[in-house]
Amino acid sequence: MKRFSLIVPVYKVENYIEKCLLSIKDQIFKDFECLIIDDGSPDCSIEIAKKVIGDDERFKIYHKKNGGLSDARNYGLNLVSGEYVWFIDSDDSITLDSLVKLNEEIEINGSDIICFDMCYEYTNKKNTISKGANFRISNFKENLEIINIDNSANSKIYKREFLKNKFFPKGMWYEDMAVISLWLMEAKKVSYLSDALYNYLQREGSITKSIDERVFDIYKAILIIKNKSKEMGINIDDIIKQRYIDDCLIMTTLRIKDYQNKKDRINYYQKNMVLLNENCPNWFKISFFNHKYSFKQKIIFLLLKIKAYNFVDIIYQGI
């Protein structure tokens, strides 16, 4: 059995996949398999991948019809044989010593999930490190805040036995939030390494500029977490309320502001506030009187509260 199984979904990444696969191929720690999942990519990504991996038997390419990121990850999960699984997006990369450090952590603790930091790579500004957590070894019952670790599936590895019968929801936005929080809640042992092992490329234009109702899937993701906590008999109401503020109020509004058509933006601001009021009726009191938010953010909160969506749009568009 290999120590690691790396799952790399591939779709339209011909400009990035070489760097990704080289960062895997050149790992100092050699005991791994890499499953490249061709998700019906129409460009030259797979041809480039074949050139990069050459005759390296640790790499296997699998082809499937396009079904999206979650579907490709699930496809890979059915094929892995390694002790631990790592999901790596094909436009990102990993540090050359990452598997060495992760293997050392496995030898020490053998956690169900091992978390680590991410380096956000930009093309036009300085890279930044995202700190994933502030604990060493824990679990959800001992530390409820553990589910506030970043929701990325990439900044963690998972024991394969732990992932048995666990999959990503197909066709859903925010699938990482819906799934990773649940897995963190279920894991008996979670450990954290304060090393940035994953390089997350910030691609310009990667966030959609056109309307999509799935922007509201964020509410489904939070509901999944909420229902799981009830099932476990654990009260996380304060954490859930904060999710509504940070993810539904702030993050969703920021996504909507990038839509190209003003009429669509106004319509979606309104739709989002209807959903927010339904799910978190006291959102304004929680957010407006919280010192962590800036004066500009609070002005936007107030304008959203009084349904002055045109003024919200003016602020965001800088007019």
Q: What is the pLDDT of residues 150-174, one digit of tens each?
A: 889 999 999 999 999 999 998 889 8
One-letter amino acid identity for 204? Answer: E
Q: Encoding tokens for residue 27? A: 């790992």
Q: Which domain holds residue 183?
A: 4-201
Q: Does residue 207 lie in a domain region?
A: no
Where a domain ends, among 201, 235, 262?
A: 201
**Per-residue 3-state assignment (H helix, E strand, C coil) for 110-131:** CCCEEEEEEEEECCCCCCEEEC
pLDDT at 209: 61
Tally of domains in the chain: 2
pLDDT at 319: 56
Q: Does residue 206 lie in a domain region?
A: no
Judgement on whether residues 111 and 82 belong to the same structural domain of the protein: yes
Where a domain ends, among 175, 201, 227?
A: 201
pLDDT at 133: 78
pLDDT at 63: 98
pLDDT at 5: 98
What distance in Å separates the CA atoms of residue 230 and residue 225, rounded to the nearest whole number? 9
For the chain, helix, strand, coil in percent to 5 are 45, 20, 40
What distance in Å separates the CA atoms of residue 178 and residue 221, rounded to the nearest whole number? 4
Judgement on whether residues 60 and 196 belong to the same structural domain of the protein: yes
Q: Which residues of the chain have pLDDT under 50?
A: 206-207
Judgement on whether residues 71 and 152 belong to the same structural domain of the protein: yes
Q: Does residue 208 lie in a domain region?
A: no
SS3 270: helix
SS3 318: coil
Its pTM stands at 0.92
